[in-house]
């Protein structure tokens, strides 16, 4: 009987050891599965971060794609958005005067100040151009203007002496995927984006840092109470045969320019109104008064040139265009 009890004890002990080993294997497999899940989540998160640096996050939402790799060439969407164009007009001069390393350093330092201002206001970078960029704001048009003012403040605080300008518009934008299946990207096409680029370039001539369209202004509640601006006049859009109001928002200007525009705002806008009614002689006198106070006012100089040209023709002016510029 003794050996039977020993055998039973051994069998029980073996069964216990087998149970422990089986349980241990289950725990190991569970740990491995959990670790594999964590690795997959980490890889997905890293991939999302990488894609987020290359593709606008709002773009994925626009195409209702949770996974960037599912995007395909030919997909396109039309949206209403505010578009911001920022650049440094003198970039070609900088390129000629500096080495490649210095240029890249300059561009990255500059964008290092600009990009955070746009991302903070939930803007999406569309593309980088020279030392600048274009971005769009899908849900809150006012965020585009806030972003523009923040850009001016950030650059001023950094001590930057470069001349820069910003154009802001609002309207329909077509966003699509273009290229080849092995290398493709996004493209935005519309009069809205082109007009933003045009205003960015135009701003330098008028000594303005931020130019916006009337279409964007209408999207901003209490615009006149919240921002310092002046109505510059109208620009003619050749493609649509329509005119668009143009505003100079000078909240981001240097103090000397801001004070000059504030002091002459009323007489300047009276001059614009007279010009639009083709009273060129009276308008001319208004813009001369503006320049006496603010001799660097580029928009007043442009209007004075137009008034002088129209007056020199000595006709009724009935066939003269009263818009400030043409796009």
pLDDT (tens digit, 9 = 90+) per residue, 41-83?
A: 655 555 555 455 545 555 556 655 555 555 666 567 778 899 9
Q: Scan for tokens 């001369």, then name that residue.
A: 288
List the beta bridge partners of residue 245: 234
Lowest mean pLDDT among 41-50, 78-87, 91-100, 253-262: 41-50
pTM of the model: 0.78
**175 and 76 in contact (C-beta within 8 Å)?**
yes
Dist CA 162 CA 181 (whole Å): 40
pLDDT confidence bin for 167, thresholds 50/70/90: very high
**311 and 320 in contact (C-beta within 8 Å)?**
no
From the list 290, 277, 288, 284, the residue with the least C-alpha distance to 322 is 277
**How do beta strands 124-129 and 76-87 pair?**
unpaired
pLDDT confidence bin for 142, thresholds 50/70/90: very high
The DSSP 8-state label assigned to residue 161 in this structure reads: -
pLDDT confidence bin for 13, thresholds 50/70/90: low
**54 and 97 in contact (C-beta within 8 Å)?**
no
Please work out, in degrees rounded to the nearest 5, the angle formed at the alpha carbon of residue 125 by the alpha carbons of 211 and 236.
30
Query: What mean pLDDT is predicted for residues 291-312?
Result: 94
- Over 90: is that where the pLDDT of 14 sits? no
The DSSP 8-state label assigned to residue 181 in this structure reads: T
Q: Return the pLDDT at 159.
A: 84
pLDDT: is 139 or 269 the higher one?
Answer: 269
Cα–Cα distances in angstroms (integers) from residue 204 to residues 18, 48, 296, in the given order: 82, 39, 12
Dihedral over Cα of 207, 212, 217, 218: its sign: positive
pLDDT confidence bin for 207, thresholds 50/70/90: very high
Query: What mean pLDDT is predicted for residues 182-199?
Result: 80
From the list 81, 42, 41, the residue with the least C-alpha distance to 59 is 81
Q: Return the pLDDT at 50.
A: 47
Q: Which two tokens stand for residue 270?
A: 């009276």
pLDDT confidence bin for 12, thresholds 50/70/90: low
Other Cβ atoms closer than 10 A to 104: 11
Helices marked H in the chain: 2-54, 57-62, 91-97, 100-120, 141-158, 191-205, 214-217, 223-226, 255-276, 280-293, 298-313
Query: What mean pLDDT is predicted for residues 77-94?
Result: 87
pLDDT confidence bin for 160, thresholds 50/70/90: confident
The DSSP 8-state label assigned to residue 93 in this structure reads: H
């Amino acid at each position: 009987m003794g050996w039977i009890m020993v055998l039973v004890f051994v069998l029980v002990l073996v069964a216990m050891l087998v149970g422990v080993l089986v349980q241990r294997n289950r725990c190991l497999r569970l740990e491995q599965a959990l670790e594999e899940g964590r690795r997959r989540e980490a890889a997905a998160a890293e991939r999302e971060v990488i894609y987020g640096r290359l593709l606008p996050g709002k773009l994925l939402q626009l195409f209702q794609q949770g996974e960037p790799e599912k995007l395909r060439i030919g997909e396109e969407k039309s949206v209403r958005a505010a578009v911001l164009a920022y650049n440094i007009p003198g970039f070609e001069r900088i390129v000629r005067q500096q080495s490649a390393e210095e240029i890249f350093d300059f561009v990255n330092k500059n964008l290092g100040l600009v990009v955070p201002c746009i991302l903070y206001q939930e803007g999406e970078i569309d593309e980088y151009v020279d030392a600048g960029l274009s971005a769009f704001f899908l849900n809150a048009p006012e965020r585009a203007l806030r972003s523009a003012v923040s850009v001016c403040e950030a650059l001023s605080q950094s001590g930057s002496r470069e001349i820069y300008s910003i154009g802001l518009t609002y309207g329909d934008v077509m966003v699509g995927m273009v290229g080849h299946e092995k290398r493709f990207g996004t493209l935005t096409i519309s009069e809205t984006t082109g007009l933003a680029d045009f205003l960015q370039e135009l701003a330098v001539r008028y000594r303005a840092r931020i130019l916006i369209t009337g279409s964007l202004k209408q999207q901003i509640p209490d615009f006149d109470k919240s921002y310092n601006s002046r109505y510059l006049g109208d620009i003619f859009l050749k493609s649509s045969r329509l005119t668009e109001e143009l505003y100079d928002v000078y909240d981001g200007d240097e103090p000397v320019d801001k004070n000059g525009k504030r002091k002459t705002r009323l007489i300047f806008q009276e001059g614009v109104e007279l010009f639009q009614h083709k009273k060129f002689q009276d308008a001319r006198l208004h813009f001369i008064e503006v320049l006496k106070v603010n001799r660097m006012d580029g928009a007043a100089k442009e209007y004075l040139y137009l008034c002088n040209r129209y007056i020199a023709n000595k006709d009724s002016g009935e066939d003269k265009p009263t818009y400030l510029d043409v796009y």
